[in-house]
Chain A
Amino acid sequence: MSFDAAYQDQKLKSVGTRPLRPDGVDKVTGRARYGADFNMPGQLVARILRSPHAHARIKSIDTNRAEAVKGVKAIITAADLPDLTNGDAGTYAILDNCMAREKAMYDGHAVAAVAAIDEHAARKALKFIEVEYEVLPHVTDVDAAMEDDAPLVKDDVFTTGVEPAPTKPSNIANRAEFGHGDVEKGFGAADVIVERSYKTEQTHQGYIEPHACVANCNSDGSAELWVCTQGHFVYRQNCADLLGLEVSKLRVTSSEIGGGFGGKTHVWAEPVALALSRKAGRPVKLVMSREEVFRASGPTSATSIDVRIGATKDGKITAAEATLRYASGPYADMWAELGAMTSFACYDLENVKTVGLEILVNRPKTTAYRAPSAPMAAFAVESAIDELAHKIDMDAVDFRIKNAASEGTKSSYGPVYGPIGIGPTLRAAKEHPHMSAPLGKNQGRGMACGFWFNFGGQTCTDLNVNADGTVTLAVGTVDVGGSRASLSLIAAEELGIEYQDIKAVIADTATLGYNDMTDGSRGTFSTSMATISAARNAITVMRERAALTWDIPVEDVYWEDGHAHAAGAKHDNRAPLSVKELAAEAGNTGGPIAGHSELVADGAGVSFATHICDIEVDPETGSSRVVRYTVIQDAGKAVHPSYVEGQYQGGAAQGIGWALNEEYIYGEDGRLQNPGFLDYRIPVCSDLPMIDTQILEIPNPNHPYGVRGVGETSIVPPLAAIANAVSNAVGVRMAHIPISPPRILAALTDAADG
């Protein structure tokens, strides 16, 4: 059935309210089942042996002594995960990352794994696995990796995206360029030019729940996986590809998820658990420790970025240019490319050029982190924009308003924008009381803008009307941010029934068609579309049932406020039929009532935000404290405003941590120095003020209710907003993130020394 996704301005009854989330009580009482909360009879415990070297050739692995340890049931190495990737570089990277093949590429890279009857036996066996390494020179810093004499992370990588193709291997895996116009001509027309280099250190998503799964391979080739993931259909595909299983024979169930933020978008250890189970013939449970999570999963790129922006004295940007170097760990991806695409997306520019360089280093495989690559680019660009506004003596908000993109602007990365929210968020910031509030001693205010693409993708949803008239909504997108509540509101809205009468569940991979994962801020956007479509299909069925009951043509039955109504004067004596009444009679009118939907949710509207931040700095110690923080973001339509606000606050909180204290610290030996929450400092409650939010609603023309994704954009502006606030507080431009107390104090000391 065709589905019209176009926005319709209508009065909404359920959407926009704030009921309690259905998963809340279970989560706060400890009943909710996360990755490590599932067990199977006879299950074994898995442990992974990891490389202590940043870069080393694996000459041999001897598992004989370990296999002899009492209680050990299986030991695997890369030899047990043969390469079935058929030259697909992305899949090969995931395979090699799960278990090192020829070389250990970073400190913490898995080299072997054990399944044993208990943790004690597994730990003991790890000590008896003998790995002979040939230690190789390593490089962990993004700029150092680009130097001519840098150790090569891989000797078969030649820079792509340059002509002519290079003949020498390089740590620069790819070059990507975006933009339009003539930047040199634009700089020629500028009165003032700001040019500066920036650095950001590597951060981890910091999800509180470590990666965890239970895997069970049966002798008939079927298998099950219970796992904490952002996308169980994607994990099924990853695992099937890597282990040579038929997709239909691998059933993956997603657990509740204690945070993902992009870090649970592809497999890390799940194929290892499956391979151990296949070898041992028993279920295997694998739970990463926090140290393993830090050393061998998830971080985002460290970056080094040069920005140059020129403007006329009256505040018109004439040219903008950026070179962005993103470390991607040992495997190339598109992190620099995303940085290059997003960097100037907020602005209407005549001349713009960005170059992204993807850099290989001996660090863990970089993966997505909430609006991946955009926060670092925004940090560099928004810092330069701020500095430029100061130089031409123009208000930082006015300068941005004057240059903001709007409907019809050709974006710096190519497409022409539809209706967008950058201008409105900036104007809201200008009018916000925060902007004009007085500042105290040693305080500074900063603001910054951010952009994210958002994504739609494939979605498949079932809506079943139960015999009692309640509704079960089965979706295939993992709920990471309250989407079960939001989708229940959507179904209630369409059907015209109460929110309490809808129960949304996350179905496993055997019970629904394929769903893309919860990433790209797509969960509520895409699944709400499929839910609306499924509800409308169910309404069609219910209209047919009513027509049958009344023995009138279906064309004479319309749906309103949760009831089938007979239309026209000739049927006016008929009382409307409720969902409950139709459901009760379903057995006599054609069987169960259901609506199904499968679609590709196109037209995810791009998203913009503006953040304002006040910071107080102790000039004697470099200690800083965020004293006030405001997030203004376009949601299109806030389905459940509390959870939209939660997304705004959560992104800001993560961004503040990134900006001020979080960083991967490597020693000279290439080993990670701080793989734990003591020395990898995410903010604790008392570090943050209550983060104020303002939701703007500029409808997305491609969604029936105008919904846009809201999950990611909120992490894009904070790095820059904080940097601008600190710079304004101390009078020194801070260009290296995190802006930790030692960096602030060193900058102040340098400035004082002149």
Chain B
Amino acid sequence: MRYERPQTIQDATALLAGAEAKSYVLAGGTDLLVRMQSDDFEADLIVDIKAIAGMDQITEVEDGFVIGAGVPCAALAENAALVAAWPGVVEAANLIGSTQIQGRCTVVGNLCNASPAADSVPALVASNARVRIAGPSGQREVDILDVPVSPGKTSLKKGEFIEAVVLPKGAAHLGDAYLRFIPRTEMDIAVVGVGVHLALDDAGAISSARVALGAVGPKVVLSQEAADTLVGTKLEDAALEALATACSDASNPIDDKRGTVAFRKQVAGVLARRAAQTAYTRAGGK
């Protein structure tokens, strides 16, 4: 197995494109290093992208934030502008693992690990974030939603890696929130996760909504039906009930060691209700 630490994006994509068999991108390593302990793990090439300029930067631009692929989740919480704009995304990223893990792990890693239970992914999907993908033939941008395909599998092509996440910046009256269910208080993995992003009009009514669900299907679910229950409302009880029902209906989970179908569907609704209330308050709704 070969370990490479390229200095440029071009070198990194060239290495990945030229790899003969299995290759992995290393950033925080909190998933990869654990997998490397397994007897079944095999790799020919590990490409560490942390030495590439910009990978460890959060850059505020006119219409958003660009978060480098090597930025640890803990660093998101230390960026005041990002916390003010996207508290839900930052909270989600800082629910992963433990304090020590958060010092290394990255949202891009969380995304590319392609676990349906990834905490930061529903929050990012709700935020309408995009990713900047570097490849042998140049750069492209896609919606976060289109990166994970199924458990452990992404839409990235050979030679490609994600160099940054791009979060938009919007007008006033925006709010987001993420909640997950775990049986413990920390050091756990989501049994259900819900990200909600709301925009309000000047009268305090919801003008647009995005609702994303984690761990209730083979990949993150963006539910238009759930969003529709909220638009035009001021989050009255009836709207919350309709949201909960829509989220339960949009969930298509399995019975497994982490929870049952019935539990996940029911809790998806409960968490959606609670997350929507937080997002609404953050957006200035009363």
Q: State whether the Cβ of B188 lies closer than 8 Å to any Cβ in chain A.
A: yes
Say whether A126 faces chain B, with CB atoms less than 8 Å apart: yes
Identify A687's interface contact among B184, B258, B267, CB under 8 A.
Answer: B184
Chain A neighbourhood of B89, CB < 8 A: none
Is A745 touching B184 in the complex (CB atoms < 8 A)? no
Nearest A residue to B274 via CB reads A620
Contact check, A679 vs B260: say whether CB atoms are below 8 A apart.
no
Contact of A123 with B by CB under 8 A: yes
- Contacting residues, chain A, for B266 (C-beta < 8 A): 745, 749
Residue in B closest to A665 when the chains form the complex, CB atoms: B257
CB within 8 Å of A: which B241-286 residues: 256-260, 262-263, 266-267, 270-271
**Candidates A123, A673, A687, A741; contact of B257 at CB < 8 Å:** A673
Residue B170 at the A interface, CB < 8 A? Answer: no
Known contacts A678-B189, A684-B184, A687-B184; A746 and B270 CB within 8 A of each other: no
Given A123-B39, A684-B186, check contact A623 B256 (CB 8 Å).
no
Confirm or deny: B138 has a beta carbon within 8 angstroms of a beta carbon on chain A.
no
Would B270 and A620 count as touching, CB distance under 8 A?
yes
Whether A686 and B183, one on each chain, are in contact in the complex, defined by CB atoms closer than 8 angstroms, is: no
**B271 to chain A: which residues have CB within 8 Å?**
621
* 0/1 interface trace, chain B 75-95, chain A, CB 8 Å (1 if under): 000000000000000000000
Asked if B61 lies at the interface with its beta carbon under 8 angstroms from chain A, I say: no
Bound CA–CA A639/B262 (angstroms): 51
The smallest beta-carbon distance between A199 and chain B, in angstroms, is 16
Interface size for B (C-beta < 8 A) is 22
Interface members, chain A 730-745 (any B CB < 8 Å): 740-742, 745
A683 vs B185: C-alpha distance when bound (angstroms)? 9
On chain B, the residues within 8 Å of A745 by CB distance are: 262-263, 266-267
The residue in chain B whose Cβ has the minimal distance to the Cβ of A619 is B270
B187 within 8 A of A: yes
> Using Cβ atoms and an 8 Å threshold, which residues of chain B touch A289?
37
User: A661 to B184, Cβ gap below 8 A?
Assistant: yes
Docked-complex contact B185 and A621, CB < 8 angstroms: no
> A-facing mask of B140-153, CB < 8 A → 1, else 0?
00000000000000
How close is A383's CB to chain B, nearest CB, in angstroms? 22
- Of B189, B256, B267, most A-chain CB atoms within 10 Å: B267
Count residues of A near B (Cβ-Cβ below 8 Å): 26
- In the complex, A35 has a CB within 8 A of chain B: no
Whether B257 contacts A674 by the Cβ 8 Å rule is yes
Alpha-carbon gap, A687 to B188, bound state (A): 12
Determine whether the beta carbon of B187 is less than 8 Å from that of A679. no
* CB < 8 Å neighbour of B186 from A625, A686, A741: A686
8 A Cβ contacts from B175-195 to A: 181, 183-189, 191
Q: With A620-B270, A623-B181, A661-B183 given, is the CB distance from A678 to B188 under 8 Å?
A: yes
Assembly CA distance A6 to B207 (angstroms): 82
- Shortest CB-to-CB span from A609 to chain B, Å, is 26
Find out whether the CB atom of B184 lies under 8 angstroms from the CB atom of A621.
no
Nearest Cβ on chain B to A69's Cβ, whole angstroms = 15
Q: Is A701 an interface residue (CB 8 A)?
A: no
- A622 at the A/B interface (Cβ < 8 Å)? yes
* Least CB distance, A118 to chain B, in whole angstroms: 14
Contact with B along A671-697 (1 / 0, CB 8 A): 001100011010110110000000000
Residue contact B183 to A684, C-beta cutoff 8 Å:
no
The SS class assigned to the A binding surface is loop
**Residues B186 and A681 in contact, CB atoms below 8 Å apart:** no
Cβ contact within 8 Å between B183 and A741: yes
| Chain B: minimal CB distance from A291 (Å) | 9
Q: With A679-B258, A746-B260, A746-B262 as known contacts, state yes or no: A126 contacts B39, CB within 8 Å.
A: yes
> What is the minimal beta-carbon distance from B274 to any residue of chain A, in angstroms?
9
Q: Please indicate the chain B residues that have their CB under 8 angstroms from the CB of A665 in the complex.
A: 257
Decide if A740 touches B183 in the complex (CB within 8 Å).
yes
Whether B260 pairs with A686 at a CB distance below 8 angstroms is: no
A742 pairs with B263, CB closer than 8 A: yes
Residues of A within 8 A of B267 (CB): 620-621, 745
Residue of A with least CB distance to B1: A120
B2 to chain A, nearest CB (A): 15
Residue of B nearest to A680 (CB): B257
Measured CA separation A687–B189 after assembly (Å): 15
A741: contacting residue among B37, B181, B185, B187, CB under 8 A? B181
| Contact across chains for A684 and B185 when beta carbons are under 8 A apart | yes
* B270 and chain A: residue at smallest CB distance: A620
Residue of A nearest to B260 (CB): A742
Report A621-634 CB contacts with B as 1/0, cut-off 8 Å: 11101000000000
B260 CB contacts on chain A under 8 angstroms = 742, 746
Cβ of B256: which chain A residues have Cβ within 8 Å of it? 673
A625 — which chain B residues lie within 8 A by C-beta? 185
Partner of A621 from B37, B181, B188 at Cβ < 8 Å:
B181
For B189, list chain A residues within 8 Å (CB): 678-679
Separation of A665 and B191 alpha carbons in the complex (Å): 16
CA distance A660 to B184 in the complex (A): 10
Please report the C-alpha to C-alpha distance between residue A123 and residue B186 in the assembled complex, in whole angstroms. 33
Q: Quick one: which of A620, A674, A681, A749 contacts B183, CB cutoff 8 A?
A: A681
Interface string of A256-270 (1 = CB under 8 A from B): 000000000000000
For A123, the closest partner residue in chain B by CB is B39
Q: Give A683 to B187 CA distance when docked, in angstroms.
A: 10
Residue of A nearest to B255 (CB): A742
Min CB–CB distance A124 → chain B (angstroms): 10
Tell me, rounded to whole Å, the shortest Cβ–Cβ distance linking A599 to chain B: 46
> Measuring CB to CB, which residues of chain A are less than 8 angstroms from any residue of chain B?
123, 126, 289, 620-623, 625, 660-661, 665, 673-674, 678-679, 681, 683-684, 686-687, 740-742, 745-746, 749
Other than the given A621-B267, A623-B183, 9 more pairs (CB < 8 A) read: A620-B267, A623-B181, A661-B183, A674-B257, A681-B184, A681-B188, A686-B185, A687-B185, A742-B259
8 A-B residue pairs with CB within 8 Å: A621-B271, A622-B263, A625-B185, A678-B188, A679-B257, A681-B183, A686-B185, A749-B262
- A-B pairs with lowest CB-CB distance, top 3: A742-B263, A686-B185, A673-B257
